[in-house]
Amino acid sequence: MTFGRRLWTDLKPHALSFSGMLLISAAIAQAANQNLGWLMVQGGLVWWLSRRLHCVPNPQTSKAAQRSIDSATPLDETLQALVKACPLAITVFTLDGTVQLWNPAAEQIFGWRADEVIGKFLPSIPIEKRDEFLSHLATVRQGDSLENLRSRRLRKSGDLIDVEIWAAPIVNAVGTVSCMSIVSDISERSRIEAERRQLIEREQQAQIDREQVRGQLFKTLESITDGFVAYDRAWCITYINTKGAQTLGHCTPDELLGRSAWEAFPGLKASPFGFVLEQALAENRVLEVESFYEPFDAWFSVRVYPSEAGVAVYFRNVTHRRQTAEHLKLALQQEQSARQEAEAANRLKDEFLATLSHELRTPLNVVLGCIQLLQARRSNSTTANRAIDAIDRNTKQLTQLIEDLLDVSQIITGKLKLNPRPVNLSCPIAAAIALVQPAALTKNLQLTWQLDPLEHQAIADIASIQKLMWHLLSNAIKFTPAGGKIEVRLEAAEDAVPAAFARITVSDTGEGIAPEFLPHVFDRFRQADGSLTRAYGGLGLGMAIVRYIVEQHGGTIQAHSAGLGKGTTFTVLLPLATSAGESLNGDRNGRKAVSSPLDPDFVQPDRQRTKTASIQSSNQN
C-alpha cells in the first residue's frame, strides 16, 4: 500500500523515536495493529509514552488510515514504587551529566537529597574519575550498555566509596538520549575482600616463617657434636642427625628414617639402652645411661627426653674414654672431685636442656596455636592480627635463641670466624644502642651513653663488637627494673700503659650479682638463680659469647657488683692500633697488628666526634 507524505507526518508525532518509525513501517508492511511505547523522564519522574497504530489494507485505493494516540500518563504505580523502594541507587542524567532522576536509595548512599542535585551536574563523580565518567557517557551515547563496572564515587561527606555500576541509554519525549544508571555500594564487600587477601598473605608468610624456624632448628641439631635421634611412640625413627647416623652405623640419615628402632639396631631392646628408652617414655621423665653395646662393640653415653610425640635421645661414643688407662687412673685418684664435677656438669646440662626445652617450647606452642587458629579461618580480623603479631614476636625470640646456640656451637668447635679491620669503636657501639632503645623505652628505663673520640682505631670484627655490646645492653635491660638507669661509656684507658686500650663500660642499677656467683658469670650455661631464668628467660649463653669475643680481640672483660640489688658494671678493655705498622699479624705483645693507612679499607678516626644522649619514656616520673 502507499501513503502520502502528509499521512506519514500525521502518523509520526515529534516525540516518536527511530524505533517507533521501524514499528510503523512494520505495521504498514503487515497491515496489522502495532503498539509502540518508550520511557521518558521529565520533572524528576519517569513517564511511559505509548502509541497505537491501526493499519487498514486496501488493495486498490486506500481507505482512510486510522490511528489513536493514548495521551502520556505517569508510569504505572508499581514501577514507581519499585524505583522508590529499590535499595540500589537509580539515577538518570543527560549525556552532559545533568541529573534528571535521583531515587531515595541514591540519597542514602551518596548523601545528597534529590532537590539538591536534580538539574545539576552529577556531584558524585570525583575529579580523578571525571575522564572515566565522560568516557562511559560516550559509550552510552553510542547506544551501548555498561554492566558490572567497578569504580569509585564521592559522598556528600567527602568520603570515597567503592561502587558497582550498570548503565544503559534511554530516550526522552523529544528523542534525546539520556543515561539511566544503577549503582550498588560495594565498599563493605571490597573491604572484606581486601582483608581476606591480607589474611591469606599473612597465613602464607606464617607458614614460611614456621618452615624457616624448623629449618633453623634442624640446622642446630646438625651442628651439635652429639648424636641425636628422635623416635615416635611406635619406636619408629622420625629424625636422626648426620653425626648420629655415622656413630650408629656409618650410614646416612635417609637410610634410617622410618625404620623401627628394634629392627635398625639388633639387640637394642634387650640392652640397658632399650630398658631406659621404654622406662623414660612410660614414666615421662628424663633418664640417662652409659653402657656397653655389644653389636657395635662400643660404649655409649645416652640421655633420653620423653615427650607427647615420643622420645628424643642424645648420645655419644665414649669407648675411648672408657678404655683409656690414663682416664681410669685419673678417675681413681680424683674420684670425689670428678664425681662432684660430673654432677655439677650434669646439673648444668639438665638445667640448660630444661631451659632450652622451655624457651623453645613456649614460643613454638604460641606459634603453632596461632597457626591453627588462622587455619581454622573462623577468627575475625582483630584476632587474626593478634595471632600474626604473636607469631612474629615468638619467631624472633626463637631466632635469637637459635643464633645464640649456633654461636656457642661455633665457639665450642672453633668455627666462629672473625673478620678484623680498622674500626672506629663508636660505630658498632652506637648501632647496638639503637637496637636496644625500643626495649629500654618499653621498660621505662633511662639509657644514657657517652662515646669519647679516640686517638686510635681498633683492629676488630665490627659485627662481633656490635654483638658483644648487644648482649651486654640486653642483659642490663633484662635485669634492671622499670625506672632504672643504664649508662654506656667509651673512653681511652689512660692507665693501660704502655699499650693503648679503649675502655667500654656498661653500668646498670639492676638486680646485681651475688659475690659467690661473680667468678662464674662468664661460664657457659651458668645462671645465678633458676627462678630468675623463668622470670626473665634466656639460656645463660650471652656472657660466654661476650667473653669469647673479647678474648679473640686480645682484650679483657670484668664484672663488678656490690651485691644483690646494687647494680652491675661490666668493663671491657680492647687494644687499639697505635701505628700504621701494627696489624693482626702480631705486634710486640703477640697480638695481630693494624693495616696501613694505604689500605683502601682503612678509616681515619674522627677525633672530634662525641655522642652524649639519653632516652627516657615520656611517662617517667
CATH label of the domain that carries residue 314: 3.30.450.20
Claim to verify: residue 161 and residue 287 sit in the same structural domain: no
Claim to verify: residue 337 and residue 285 sit in the same structural domain: no
Claim to verify: residue 98 and residue 238 sit in the same structural domain: no
**pLDDT at residue number 509:** 94
Residue 95: inside a domain, yes or no? Answer: yes
| Distance between CA atoms of residues 92 and 94, nearest Å | 7
Count how many domains the chain has: 5
**pLDDT at residue number 378:** 63
> For residue 600, how many other CB atoms are within 10 A of its CB?
6
Residue 200: inside a domain, yes or no? Answer: no
Would you call 259 exposed, middle or buried from its count of C-beta atoms within 10 A (0-12, 13-18, 19+)? middle
Q: Which of 75, 96, 127 is the last residue of a domain?
A: 75
Q: Which of the two residues, 339 and 308, has the higher pLDDT score?
A: 308
Claim to verify: residue 215 and residue 179 sit in the same structural domain: no
> For residue 281, how many other CB atoms are within 10 A of its CB?
18
Give the range among 68-77, 107-116, 130-139, 264-273 with minimum mean pLDDT.
Answer: 68-77
Please report, for residues 384, 440, 449, 611, the alpha-carbon distance to residue 615 in angstroms, rounded to integers and kept in the order given.
33, 8, 9, 13
Phi, psi for residue 52 in degrees, rounded to 5: -115, 130
**pLDDT at residue number 72:** 39
Claim to verify: residue 549 and residue 465 sit in the same structural domain: yes
Spatial strand order in the sheet of 446-451: 556-560, 568-575, 501-508, 485-492, 446-451, 611-615
**pLDDT at residue number 256:** 87
pLDDT in tens, 279-318: 999 999 999 998 888 888 888 899 999 999 899 999 988 8
- pLDDT class for 167, splitting at 50, 70, 90? very high
Claim to verify: residue 103 and residue 69 sit in the same structural domain: no
Claim to verify: residue 236 and residue 287 sit in the same structural domain: yes
Q: CB under 8 Å to 339, separation ≥6 — which residues?
A: none
pLDDT in tens, 179-215: 999 999 998 888 898 889 899 888 888 888 777 776 7
**pLDDT at residue number 84:** 87
pLDDT in tens, 580-607: 545 443 343 333 333 333 233 333 333 3
Give the range among 232-241, 327-336, 495-504 with minimum mean pLDDT.
Answer: 327-336
- pLDDT class for 175, splitting at 50, 70, 90? confident
Residue 477: inside a domain, yes or no? Answer: yes
Claim to verify: residue 260 and residue 358 sit in the same structural domain: no
Q: Which of 384, 414, 444 is the last residue of a domain?
A: 414
Claim to verify: residue 106 and residue 212 sit in the same structural domain: no
- pLDDT class for 360, splitting at 50, 70, 90? low
Q: Which of the two residues, 539 and 152, has the higher pLDDT score?
A: 152
pLDDT in tens, 399-408: 767 777 777 7
Residue 103: inside a domain, yes or no? Answer: yes
Residue 371 has pLDDT above 60, yes or no: yes
**pLDDT at residue number 83:** 83
Residue 272: is the preceding peptide bond cis (ω within 30°)?
Answer: no
CATH label of the domain that carries residue 611: 3.30.565.10
Q: Which of 46, 75, 104 is the last residue of a domain?
A: 75
Which of the given ranges, 79-83, 285-289, 527-531, has the highest pLDDT on average? 285-289
Angle (CA) 579-581-586 rounded to 5° is 110
- pLDDT class for 536, splitting at 50, 70, 90? low
The answer to whether the beta carbons of residues 508 and 479 sit under 8 Å apart is: yes
Give the range among 160-174, 313-327, 334-348 with minimum mean pLDDT.
Answer: 334-348
- Please report where in the chains the cell 614456621 appears, as a residue: 210
Which domain does 141 fall in, by range?
Answer: 78-185
**pLDDT at residue number 103:** 93
- pLDDT class for 43, splitting at 50, 70, 90? very low
Claim to verify: residue 60 and residue 98 sit in the same structural domain: no
Residue 198: inside a domain, yes or no? Answer: no
Quick one: average pLDDT of 47-74? 44
**pLDDT at residue number 333:** 75
Claim to verify: residue 370 and residue 381 sit in the same structural domain: yes
Claim to verify: residue 69 and residue 82 sit in the same structural domain: no
Q: Which of the two residues, 15 and 191, has the higher pLDDT score?
A: 191
- pLDDT class for 476, splitting at 50, 70, 90? very high
**pLDDT at residue number 575:** 92
